[in-house]
Structure 1
Amino acid sequence: MDFTRRSVLTTGAGAVTLGTLAGCLSDPLESGSGEGGYAAFFALWDWANQVAGDEIEFENPVDTGEMGHGWEPDGNLAPEIASSKVFVYLDTPEFAWAQDVVADLERDYEGEVEVIDGLEGMGPYLIPFDGGEDDALPEPDHDHEFDPDDVSRDRFDFYDLRSNDQLGYWHIDHWHGGVPDVPVDDSVPIGAVFRDNRERVVPLGPNEAFQFDARLAAGAPDDVLEIESHGDSVSLIGHETGATEIVFELRHENEVVYDTDAAPMSIDVVEEVDGGAGEFHDPHTWVDPVLAQRMVDTIADGLADVDPDNADVYAANAEDYKNRLADIDRQFEELTENAERDVAVFVAHDSFQYVERRYDFELHTPVGITPDAAESLDDVADMIDVVEEHDIDTILYDPFEAPDDEQMPSAARMLLENSPATNAEPLTPAEGTTHEWADQGWGWVEQMEEVNIPSLEKALGVHE
């Protein structure tokens, strides 16, 4: 699709026909003035209203009690969205209906509708559809004491730690691959994997014998980029647009034992990085409180474009809300630091990969990231094995995947009946809201604080 986050669409008087949508939906704007907006599902709707404040009111087309991911409208939304100021969505096939609406707006309407893609610029942070296990960073061998002379100097691999994607490798005296562009006022974390002559992975870190580091190459511009060293990785922080060169180092007890000075790596610092979700990436970025902050900034930027007179209001609202998201991040950190286990069972589709990767725990799920996938008896048997192996008492379930007249999915009940687990707690990916939560005025933050964090504390064994 040729749309960018802030595409301006034109709106005409003719009726629109959507091949996949039929019927109609009532106008969400009481005034009918076209001054409101639409957001594709609950989390985006909540964030858009938090950022917009009193300036723009957003409508969520997904009914209370329904899951936003996997939802399909039964009405023709394009005319309603075309009469509003802005549409916030995720440009990914996992929300194909929203992509279809945007394509139809582009084709059939004249006028102005701001289209904000919450995934714009998120490409480097996305997890591949298959979870990226083949490219995952290998675990270091802590059971061996490495001699610097045994560590390979001919090759090491380097990774983008935002997604754990391998970027390339160093071979003798030259590079295969390269480091992605670094945005101004942002950072790109780079990790490396060194092996010895028996292919054992060398532990890296500030408290290890070996450290990974980097420096500016001799004579390279020093005003475009800052290098922050962490021992096991380096962060490249963009200061102003331009290009420079860096040299990576392997240190042993803080002494440089090898570097890439033979061929410094070229780094470009750019104003903004393009790129959103690809066809084969997990779209559940909204569950991660750190990535959520980036998406909130994207919404604020888009609203400022459509309503520049209130740009300062949107920026201030976004900063206030990001502070609340940062507090959720801190609560997740504390939770996992105090947990007695790092594995739980989640009877649902695999919607928490970004949270699992960030906070270093595992939710065993019976199916992948698609919400309409059905678990088999073998999947249930696998979950029983995990419960038994890790002595799990509390399992987790997605309340939006339960039948209308039941509290939890049938697979969760089956697991309780056939395993040592005795308790089940809800875990919500904030794709929707329930009538009870809506009555209490809960948004994304409250779902995390009131539902997810207490449930994960029980499932991972956090004791006061």
Structure 2
Amino acid sequence: MNPTRRQVLGGTAAVVGGSLAGCLGDPGAAGGDSEGEGVFTSFFTLADFTRHVVGDVAEVQNPIPPGEMGHQYEVGSQAQVDAARSAAFVYLDIPGFQNWALDSAENLRSNHEGVTVTDALANVELREIGSGHEHGDDNHEEDHTEEHEEDTHDGGDFDPHYWTDPVRSATSVRTIGEALAEADPDNAETYRSNTDAYVEELETLDETFESELSERSIDTVVVAGHDSYQYLAARYGFEVHSPVGVSPNAEPGSAEISETIDIVDDNGIDVVLYDTFSSPRLAETIVNESNAEEAVAISSAEGTKQQWLDDGWGYVEQMKELNLPAFKAALKAE
């Protein structure tokens, strides 16, 4: 591990930076050296995880607007400024997913030592794209290179969408919670208590998915678009086919679409899924050209919508209220 990229604090949380000055919400407390206040996160999912950890202690910022996903969204230069003004920055240290966040982390480590930098991927097992293999944190660290900007493959050889698995999400939440607790000892008890409570929610979510999807008629679902669901499928023992792949910018060719139509018909699939942050056009085409009956929206849970914010929906609500019934229908688990 290159110490200029990461220092492991307490053996559990990948974090670099000084004390959070005793309180994320008060940069001047306890005479600490934190340069700012609050926590700046790189996209919705991490913001939601972090809000559950910090509770009312501090403000949590997310630069990705409602209606957009974190994956490859181009933020403006203000995001770098806001990150430098925060007390802590939470992101995913994986090439190709949000390269601006990697650049921000490097800038903070080099020029803003008072900002705590936390990689929420620490301790999360990643899946190698297309192989079904999983790798622990040692492999994750080896995949992080200084030349991330030259890597055009999303996540290098690894799928970044771990958060569609509630169990891995719980690991990530614990990493965030421990990093902030170590950096802000005055509020450590609050962070750890909040972390435990939210992890219990995630464990309940996992148990619900396991129970609701276990009795199903088929074992394959088709997602017509951005393939963010391999972790979810691996956790609960089914397969996901996508004609697109992991990149939200990829476009399928006629051969991929034809293959997908055959998979729909060969497996007796009635429901074709698509991500609500993308156009339903491909899903509707597959439904019209196959024996499927309808296209149903799901969420990759890496973004939010204004209505969801108004309704108080976070990661758990997206998974439970939108994804669970959709996957139940697609797998004929009802």
TM-score of the superposed pair, with normalisation by structure 2: 0.84
Matched, 1:460 2:334: no
Distance 2:251 2:277 in 1: 14
State the distance in 2 between where 1:110 and 1:98 align: 15
Write out aligned runs for 1:436-447 (5 A). Answer: 436-447=307-318
**Which one of 51, 55, 62 corresponds to residue 53 of structure 1?**
55
Q: Which runs of 4+ in 1 moved over 3 A?
A: 273-277
For 1:317 and 1:274, locate their aligned partners in 2 and report how far apart those are by CA, in whole Å. Answer: 28
Residue type of the alignment partner of 2:226: H
Which of 416, 421, 426 pairs up with 2:287? 416
Give the deviation of 1:76 after TM superposition: 3.4
Q: Distance in 1 between matches of 2:191 and 2:138?
A: 22
Cα offset, 1:281, TM superposition: 1.2
* Residue 6, structure 1, aligned to residue 15, structure 2: yes
CA distance in 2, matches of 1:411, 1:371: 13
**How many residues are paired up?**
299
2-structure distance, mates of 1:7, 1:453: 37
| Cα distance, 1:7–1:111 mapped onto 2, change above 3 Å | closer
Trace 1:319-334 onto structure 2 (pairs within 5 A).
319-334=196-211
Whole-Å separation in 1 of the counterparts to 2:239 and 2:307: 29
CA distance in 1, matches of 2:192, 2:140: 22
Match of 1:435 in 2: 306
- Structure 1: how far apart are the matches of 2:308 and 2:63? 17
Instruction: Select 1:104's aligned residue among 104, 107, 119.
Output: 107
Q: Which residue of 1 aligns with 2:91?
A: 89
Rate the CA distance shift 1:450–1:441 in 2: closer, same or farther, 3 A: same
Q: Give the partner amino acid of 1:78.
A: Q
Give, as a single letter, the amino acid of the residue that structure 2 aligns with 1:448.
M
Partner of 1:386, secondary structure, is helix
Please give the per-residue CA displacement for 1:26-71, whole angstroms capped at 9, x wherever unaligned: xxx9x9x932111111110000000000111101100000011121
Which amino acid counterpart does residue 432 of structure 1 have in structure 2?
A: G
Q: Which residue of 2 aligns with 1:349?
A: 226
Rg comparison, structure with higher value: 1
Residue 62, structure 1, aligned to residue 64, structure 2: yes
Instruction: Provide the C-alpha distance between the structure 2 equivalents of 1:425 and 1:75, rounded to a whole number of angstroms.
Output: 36
SS in 2 for 1:320: helix
Percent same amino acid among aligned pairs? 37
What does residue 126 of structure 2 align with?
Answer: 126
- Does the residue aligned with 1:451 lie in a helix, a strand or coil? helix
Say whether the 8 Å CA contact 2:38–2:86 is kept in structure 1: yes
Which position in structure 1 is the counterpart of 2:160?
A: 283
Return the alpha-carbon distance in structure 2 between the equivalents of residues 454 and 110 of structure 1. 45
Normalized per residue, the structure richer in helix is 2
User: Structure 1 or 2: larger strand share?
Assistant: 1
Deviation at 1:367, TM superposition (A): 1.9
Q: RMSD of aligned C-alpha atoms?
A: 2.2
TM-score (norm 1): 0.61
> Which has the bigger relative contact order, CA under 8 A and spacing at least 6?
2
Cα distance in 2 between the residues matched to 1:97 and 1:413? 34
Q: Any idea what SS the aligned residue of 1:6 has?
A: strand
Please give the per-residue CA displacement for 1:198-225, whole angstroms capped at 9, x wherever unaligned: xxxxxxxxxxxxxxxxxxxxxxxxxxxx
CA distance in 1, matches of 2:317, 2:190: 23
Paired residues of 2:109 and 2:117 also in contact (CA < 8 A): no
After superposition, give the CA deviation of every residue in 1:322-378 in whole Å (9 maximum; x if it has no partner). 111011111111122111111111012221111111111011101221221111122
- The answer to whether structure 1 residue 380 and structure 2 residue 257 are counterparts is yes
Consecutive unaligned residues of structure 1, counting only runs of 5 or more, are 11-28, 137-162, 166-179, 181-272, 403-407
Tell me how far apart the structure 2 counterparts of residues 334 and 289 of structure 1 sit (CA, whole Å).
14
- Say which SS state the counterpart of residue 206 (structure 2) adopts: helix
Asked whether the 8 Å contact 2:52–2:195 carries over to 1, the reply is yes
Secondary structure in 1 matching 2:6: coil
Aligned residue in 2 for 1:80? 82
SS class of match (1:81): helix
SS at match of 1:379: helix
CA distance in 1, matches of 2:52, 2:232: 22
